[in-house]
Structure 1
Amino acid sequence: MSDRSLRGVIAAISTPVDERGEPDIERLLAHARYLLDHGCNGLNLLGTTGEATSFSLRQRLSVMKAVADAGLPLARFMVGTGAASVTDAVALTTAAATVGFAGALILPPFYYKPVTNEGIARYIGAIADATAQHDIPLYLYNFPALSGITYTPDLVSLLVATFGHRIAGLKDSSGDLSYARTIAGLSSTLDVFPSNEGVLIEARGGAFAGCISATANLNSVDCGRAFQDGDETALARAVAIRAIFDGLPLVPGIKHVIASRLGDPAWRNTIAPLMSLPPDEAAIVQERLAAIEPVSA
């Protein structure tokens, strides 16, 4: 396993937005500081949970700059820089490298299908070449349910063979742990992060680098105890909190719970095409959450 700084519990942090759909920087920074102080080893900024692909290039760059300017520890931040446009992906990754983020998380180019492994390697190559001076680690983001493209073992092997140490690892949101284990076994230099906090105790033994989880926005304390201390009770509670969203929209659901906990309705805002959680689904979330032992802070 590598000695990179990104390791352990990484929350795929939600991005609060105002009524106009602009990133709410003040709320974002407050939430980031809370998570880093309450169990998270790091944060994945502008990922799927952060609604990144619904933001413009300008908005994404503004969020990155605001986080950098706030003095937050960028060595603990991975930032999503993938885009359908290779030019936008290069611009975002170059900005991430320039300001000092610890890693860039890259979706495959997700519109045209089918695409060849060589075509995706061409896309990654443009990003790697543009950021060669800064050498920012590149993490592949495997989420075929949304992107429609899988970073297959053959493709990952091709990318590692072509770009070497620049391919630092992979975040897997497929939910297939056998796939994640296969990717982790391809190279000792690859740091693999499943998206489910259920792997955290297993990760303590080195099977994975940790997890990058949407629900770590809500269960970070228990996730931290599971990873740092091997606390099985905390892990069970963390997994139970994740399960309250089964069959429900995850991103609006997480924002609903944050809003409820903070007494701050503005946290429920989402960007189109997502909608705030409707009352009937919000009631289900609250009922399920109330059945779980409260997380101690």
Structure 2
Amino acid sequence: MTNPIFGLSAALVTPYSASGEVDLAKLAKHAGSLLARGCDGVTLCGTTGEGFGLTLDERKAMFDAVAKTMPAGTPIHVGIMAPAIDDAVAQSIAALDAGAAGLLMAPPFFMKGTDEDGLFNWFNQVFMRIGDRLRGVIMYHIPGQTAVALSPDLIARLRKAWPGIITGIKDSSGDWATAERFLAGHGDISVLVGDERLLPRAMAKGAEGSICGLANIAPELLAPVIHSKDEGRVLIELTNLVVSNPIIPAVKLLAGHLADDNGFDAVRPPLTQLSPEQKSDLLQAFDAIMANA
């Protein structure tokens, strides 16, 4: 019997109330709807979820709200985004103590040009301070946001130092050559693709699925690519549409559109909502694509 693949985890958007607080009820309802529509699990506090701007208390409340509504055994991963070692440790321990299946761990950002020894030492200290709780780490390669690349060699070095701890890599570089290097060097763990346009090719090469923002709006298109090797024609067209806009506001607008909730698209500064014209154009184009899906 072969082990099941990672599958599809929605990088959940974070809805806010009119006063700017995390809307926990709306978040939990949204997560449940995505499971019903084909997701295998959910990921909180990732890039699409604005995890870079959420407090530790908000993170704890979000996990509790979502976990209470999920069927037993549903994998919930949590994004870890903090350049300070102690903050990354605190986020990680809070998630693991709450029952997270694993951590989607971004590298330290702000300092650019950090060498591999510096990155190894940062991750090593984070892992040591988490201690015996540590499990299920998915290394998060998203240099377009962090400006810090994770090389296959760095991940190999960390895997050797921490056997069994790193269970996956999420590649959100959008670069096929990079995805191929991760698949070639670490095909024995879960290589996940963040750029949905690369997903059909990656699945054919041994990838195990995706943690992605588009799962907030089209899990029905993503799940067949992962589990049935669908070619993903409409998925690619939809992704191209979304990334032609500021991505997080666009995904939140479309998630609210599908939920018939025009308050879903609020974002926290420094992000801004789409303009009325951008919203109208995006919704019109989205409805046209989905009508032909």
Instruction: Using structure 2 for the length normalisation, give the TM-score.
Output: 0.91
User: For 2:21 and 2:204, how far apart are their aligned partners in 1?
Assistant: 41
The residue aligned with 2:265 is 268
For residues 234-272 of structure 1, the C-alpha deviation after alignment (integer angstroms, 9 at most, x for no partner) is: x21222221212321111011111222222122011111
Matches within 5 A, 1:191-230: 191-202=190-201, 204-205=203-204, 207-230=206-229
The equivalent position to 2:284 in structure 1, one of 268, 282, 287, is 287
The change in CA–CA distance for 1:173 and 1:260 in structure 2 (over 3 A counts) is same
The change in CA–CA distance for 1:123 and 1:159 in structure 2 (over 3 A counts) is same
The change in CA–CA distance for 1:199 and 1:114 in structure 2 (over 3 A counts) is closer
User: For 1:200 and 1:173, how far apart are their aligned partners in 2?
Assistant: 11
The change in CA–CA distance for 1:217 and 1:121 in structure 2 (over 3 A counts) is same
1:37 Cα deviation after fit = 1.1
More displaced 10-residue stretch of structure 1: 30-39 or 241-250: 241-250
Give the unaligned 5+ runs of structure 1. none
1:199 Cα deviation after fit = 4.3
SS in 2 for 1:40: coil
The change in CA–CA distance for 1:169 and 1:231 in structure 2 (over 3 A counts) is closer
* AA of the residue aligned to 2:12: I
User: For 2:227 and 2:117, how far apart are their aligned partners in 1?
Assistant: 40
The change in CA–CA distance for 1:92 and 1:214 in structure 2 (over 3 A counts) is same
User: For 1:295 and 1:223, how far apart are their aligned partners in 2?
Assistant: 16
The change in CA–CA distance for 1:174 and 1:188 in structure 2 (over 3 A counts) is closer
CA contact (8 A) 2:204 2:229 kept: no
User: For 1:286 and 1:141, how far apart are their aligned partners in 2?
Assistant: 30
CA contact (8 A) 2:135 2:166 kept: no
Coordinate RMSD, CA, aligned: 2.2
* AA of the residue aligned to 1:245: V
The change in CA–CA distance for 1:103 and 1:20 in structure 2 (over 3 A counts) is same
User: For 1:216 and 1:60, how far apart are their aligned partners in 2?
Assistant: 20
The change in CA–CA distance for 1:40 and 1:161 in structure 2 (over 3 A counts) is same
Which ranges of 4 or more aligned residues in structure 1 deviate by more than 6 Å? none
The change in CA–CA distance for 1:68 and 1:39 in structure 2 (over 3 A counts) is closer
1:182 Cα deviation after fit = 0.7
SS in 2 for 1:216: helix
User: For 1:175 and 1:200, how far apart are their aligned partners in 2?
Assistant: 10
CA contact (8 A) 2:80 2:104 kept: yes
More displaced 10-residue stretch of structure 1: 123-132 or 77-86: 123-132
CA contact (8 A) 1:203 1:227 kept: no
The change in CA–CA distance for 1:110 and 1:240 in structure 2 (over 3 A counts) is same
1:83 Cα deviation after fit = 0.8
1:71 Cα deviation after fit = 4.5
SS in 2 for 1:31: helix
More displaced 10-residue stretch of structure 1: 114-123 or 45-54: 114-123
User: For 2:10 and 2:199, how far apart are their aligned partners in 1?
Assistant: 13
Q: Confirm whether residue 110 of structure 1 aligns to residue 123 of structure 2.
A: no
Instruction: Using structure 1 for the length normalisation, give the TM-score.
Output: 0.90
For residues 177-214 of structure 1, the C-alpha deviation after alignment (integer angstroms, 9 at most, x for no partner) is: 21112112223433111113344444555611112221
SS in 1 for 2:140: strand
Q: Confirm whether residue 189 of structure 1 aligns to residue 192 of structure 2.
A: no
For residues 30-51 of structure 1, the C-alpha deviation after alignment (integer angstroms, 9 at most, x for no partner) is: 1100111111112221100000
For residues 214-245 of structure 1, the C-alpha deviation after alignment (integer angstroms, 9 at most, x for no partner) is: 1111110121223223334xx21222221212
The change in CA–CA distance for 1:164 and 1:82 in structure 2 (over 3 A counts) is farther
CA contact (8 A) 1:6 1:41 kept: no
User: For 1:173 and 1:100, how far apart are their aligned partners in 2?
Assistant: 25
The residue aligned with 1:277 is 274
Matches within 5 A, 1:78-93: 78-93=77-92
CA contact (8 A) 2:170 2:193 kept: yes
Q: Percent identity?
A: 27
How many residue pairs get matched?
Answer: 292
User: For 1:132 and 1:202, how far apart are their aligned partners in 2?
Assistant: 37
CA contact (8 A) 2:143 2:173 kept: yes
CA contact (8 A) 2:25 2:65 kept: no
CA contact (8 A) 1:170 1:193 kept: yes
1:143 Cα deviation after fit = 0.8
* AA of the residue aligned to 1:151: L
CA contact (8 A) 1:184 1:207 kept: yes
User: For 2:130 and 2:69, how far apart are their aligned partners in 1?
Assistant: 23
